[in-house]
Amino acid sequence: MKMNELNLVYFSPTGTTRKVVMEAARNIDLKSVSFDLTVHKEKKPSLKFKSNDFVLFGIPVYGGRVPKTFLEYFETLKGDNTPAALIATYGCREYEDTLLELKNEVESRGFKVIGAGAFPVQHSIIRQIGMSRPNKNDLKIIADFGIQLNRKLRTAENFDNVNIQIPGNTPYKKYGTIPLVPKADVSLCTECKACAKACPTGAISIENPKKTDKKKCISCMKCVYSCRQKARYVSKMKLTAAQKKLTKICKNDKQAEIFI
Ligand SMILES: Cc1cc2nc3c(=O)[nH]c(=O)nc-3n(C[C@H](O)[C@H](O)[C@H](O)COP(=O)(O)O)c2cc1C
């Protein structure tokens, strides 16, 4: 098929999903345009794609589901039988219904999913889990996913009969709540507002960045990663409890899965 542009539409609070998306994209021979939906926007951008565009969607798994914040951008998302591929990164526990949910959501908005991949990586909350992933071998698999997508785009005349089978269940897993809302250490915070500007949900007050709206916070950890003063933190007690629970159920040797 003669394709126009590669569009990278992703949500990546701590940067791992972005890294995986870029590695796959590097192997697709099309000019690329990025839509980083990690940056909070009151007014959602219009995301409209043509039938000869290719869209690569990338998200982290949150509680076995697509992050709600990402789906909020779907109100203005529209394809025209546009081919798309999906990337989900996860912290070595499980991805459960995430890819299936993402496939159903994008296909209901005019896209045709021609490939998908679930990639185990470092856990953004408990960083000892999946440490140093994606590693060399993971990056090779991710690059190969890009190569396979590129080949599919070049050789197929159309994708009318494509129906990628993706694991997952409906109804989807219930959204759980994560009680890990980062706070500001007032003795370290210089009120530089980097955290407030970085927050993908607008949960941190620009006027007073020491204040966080607990209801808006999605525990993505972007504020913790972006604070140069190391003033943003999660309660040690809660973090230790999460670590205990997660180290039992996460497996550092999880393998990537590709559906194409
Ligand atoms: C709120 C939250 C929920 C998460 N839920 C899961 C999960 O259900 N399964 C899993 O294996 N990893 C889970 N993770 C880990 C992330 O999916 C993983 O670290 C991801 O690669 C982070 O992507 P990013 O660096 O692009 O933000 C979760 C992380 C966060 C912050």
Q: What is the pLDDT of residues 182-235, one digit of tens each?
A: 999 999 999 999 999 999 999 999 999 999 999 999 999 999 999 999 999 999
C-beta 201 within 6 A of ligand 1: no
Q: Whose CA is nearest to atom 5 of ligand 1?
A: 62
**Residue labelled with tokens 């525990």:** 219
CA of 124 to the centre of ligand 1 (A): 6
Q: Are 131 and 122 in contact (CB under 8 A)?
A: yes
pLDDT digit string, tens, across residues 9-29: 999 999 999 999 999 999 999
Beta strands in the chain (DSSP E): 6-10, 32-36, 47-48, 54-60, 77-78, 82-90, 111-120, 183-184, 232-233, 257-259
Residue 59 half-sphere exposure toward CB, CA atoms < 13 A: 26
The Cα 26–Cα 21 span in angstroms is: 9
Q: Candidates 61, 89, 142, 247: which one to mutate for ligand 1, based on the most atoms within 8 Å of Cβ? A: 61
What is the reported pLDDT for 1? 80
Q: What is the pTM of this model?
A: 0.97
* Residue 179 banded pLDDT, cuts 50, 70, 90: confident
CA of 216 to the centre of ligand 1 (A): 17
Residue 116, both tokens? 């998908």
The Cα 142–Cα 150 span in angstroms is: 13
What is the reported pLDDT for 42? 84
CA of 3 to the centre of ligand 1 (A): 32
C-beta 90 within 6 A of ligand 1: yes
Residues 6+ away with beta carbon under 8 Å from 259: 99, 115, 116, 117, 164, 165, 166
pLDDT digit string, tens, across residues 25-69: 999 999 999 999 999 988 889 999 999 999 999 999 999 999 999
CA of 14 to the centre of ligand 1 (A): 9
The Cα 93–Cα 142 span in angstroms is: 19
C-beta 129 within 6 A of ligand 1: no
CA of 90 to the centre of ligand 1 (A): 5
Nearest of 45, 41, 40, 74 to residue 57 by alpha carbon: 74
Nearest of 59, 64, 62 to residue 172 by alpha carbon: 64
* Mean pLDDT for all residues in the chain: 96
CA angle 147, 255, 95 (to 5 degrees): 95
Q: Candidates 22, 37, 97, 123: which one to mutate for ligand 1, based on the most atoms within 8 Å of Cβ? A: 123
C-beta 219 within 6 A of ligand 1: yes
What is the reported pLDDT for 59? 98
Class of residue 196 by CB neighbours under 10 A (exposed 0-12, middle 13-18, buried 19+): buried
Grouping H, G, I as helix, E, B as strand and the rest as coil, residue 24 is helix
C-beta 113 within 6 A of ligand 1: no
CB-based burial, 77-109: b 16+ in 10 Å, e otherwise: bebeebbbbbbbbbbbbbbbbbbbbbbbbbeeb
